[in-house]
Structure 1
């Protein structure tokens, strides 16, 4: 399908959270990054998110993060929206970053709570209001209490609904009831994205209209097909594809999810497993088990 620019408030569909491809010396591999972005765009995705958790945001230097987004904008060349994750230590740093993204021509940002310090609800909402006021860019609010220890509840989202540039939510609480609770609290005020790969069908059934994908980076055509089937309501076909996909989707879970997804990218020829320290590539029994899962998935890969 053709990719067309999408206006911020109508963002829908598959927005992969892209890895940052690296050489063995941990420097950025720009050629591999460009190749992967082209493969993703050709698969029919609807947007790109750079420098998220999977993009190793917090281990990239400030200039590197900005360079990664600038590079993606150049590769995408206006074909689809390009967004950046915002995962800074302070509200002030997040404000500066979104201003820099606006100057670079990013189409939007995906904002996390401030890192390390676990803010209370009042502080969390103040953070998002302040960051939103720092630029005109549309914002996906990333709620991941499992990973980051701060929960943005449906009640809090209802209170934030007056902030016009908060247009979407990446819901990664691992609780699919949140989709319904968000609709009950906020109506259709926000575009809702499922953010946990293993729970996507349930989220879509409850009304999610977007998927911020992880494992689909390695299987973009299958990811696109799964999305198309769900959107068409062809659930018998979707279930059949999902039963193949689900074991692979578990790679998106746990503290080593970046290493696992980069390893599967390597095994399908779309990248390398190199990560930035303190992360290290998988080793020992864990590596053997993950490779066995990946190779089984590749061997049983369906014909689309």
Structure 2
């Protein structure tokens, strides 16, 4: 089983046309643009986006489109979140059939499960998975914080490729590194603490913001990977302002879509019930991005 490497994985939004259907052409065009900046991969159907608002047919169409657009240039990871282990496993099988390189799963959304119970449910899914697995620890959305010792119980499945860490705990990336060793990749999953995670030894970054700002996100990671911390900090001063405006907005999916529509490719609206970002937030973000690019 070949596992993807570390690096920046951009998380696409789902473009929609005026008829409400997915705009596959807009999606694949943006995949090509993002990959030209050198990011390591694409993680489609992310956990906090519009994946749960898509039908199974729409999911399959998106996966195949991203896989075809990526080709041999980058790895494709597919979010396979679901409430039950059985449905997670079906999503994983579909991702494999569509040509994905790896998958991402979480404890059931809003399950509020005890960590041991959640880890046991994921263990059963991972044991049968034909693909490498990224486990997404997002206690804000799932109600379950998988600590390093809980995640370590998944290693014996032979499928634990990586952990996407979004708890926000200051020392968690370092703790994961110490518990899981170098065979498991640890990705920063919260854009606003990316540089902090890199300092602690994160091997990559799963970034929604990299769909909008792939070049800047890739450069930040490259500076950190190469130990060029002065350049990383200098870039971070400008980039972090834009990331904070995105991440702190409850309508961040809409904000990314609107900003991308203004700057590159029309994305259409978000699919209800996701909220729509207001015009002031959009103009503030666009001004911040302009200042960042002038600073380059």
Query: Which TM-score bucket, shorter chain as reference?
Result: over 0.9
* d(CA) in 1 for partners of 2:197, 2:205: 9
Task: Report what 2:144 is aligned to.
Answer: 150
Q: What residue in structure 2 maps to residue 81 of structure 1?
A: 75
| Alignment-derived partner of residue 252 in structure 1 | 247
- Rounded to whole Å, the distance in 2 between the matches of 1:198 and 1:229 is 17
Following superposition, the deviation at residue 135 of structure 1 comes to 2.4
Provide the C-alpha distance between the structure 2 equivalents of 1:32 and 1:254, rounded to a whole number of angstroms.
Answer: 24
* Correspondence for 1:281 among 267, 276, 280: 276
**Alignment check: 8 A CA contact 1:194 1:208 kept:** yes
Alpha-carbon distance in structure 2 between the residues aligned to 1:292 and 1:76:
32
Q: How far apart, CA to CA, are the structure 1 residues paired with 2:236 and 2:90?
A: 41
CA deviation profile, 1:58-94 (whole Å, cap 9, x unmatched): 1111111111001111111222111100111211111
Post-superposition shift, 1:55? 4.1
Q: What is the root-mean-square deviation of aligned Cα atoms in Å?
A: 1.8
Which stretches in structure 2 are left out of the alignment for 5+ residues?
none
Paired residues, number: 295
Aligned with 2:285 (options 263, 272, 293): 293
Q: Deviations over 1:254-303 (max 9, x none)?
A: 432212222222232244251111114223xxx31342232232244146
Q: Counterpart in 1 of 2:256?
A: 261
SS at structure 1 position matched to 2:11: coil
The 3-state SS of whatever aligns with 1:19 is coil
In the TM superposition, residue 28 of structure 1 has moved relative to its aligned partner by: 0.6
Alignment check: 8 A CA contact 1:15 1:213 kept: yes
In structure 2, C-alpha distance between the alignment counterparts of 1:302 and 1:187, rounded to whole Å: 40
Tell me which of 217, 220, 223 is aligned to 1:223. 217
Matches of 2:95 and 2:289, distance apart in 1: 37
Q: 1:200 is matched with which residue? A: 194
- For the residue of structure 2 that corresponds to 1:289, the secondary structure is helix
Matched-pair contact (CA < 8 Å) for 1:161–1:189: no
Structure 1 counterpart SS, 2:67: helix
3-state DSSP class of the match of 1:130? helix
Compare 203-212 and 149-158 and name the one that shifted more: 149-158
Q: Is there any run of 5+ residues in structure 1 with no aligned partner, and where?
A: 1-5
Deviation at 1:177, TM superposition (A): 0.7
Q: Is the 8 A contact 1:19 1:54 kept in 2?
A: no
Alignment equivalent of 1:125, drawn from 119, 128, 137: 119
CA contact (8 A) 2:16 2:267 kept: yes
1:22 aligns with 2:16: yes
Checking the alignment, whether the CA contact within 8 Å between 1:17 and 1:55 is kept in structure 2 is no
Contact between 2:44 and 2:78, CA under 8 Å: does it hold in 1?
yes
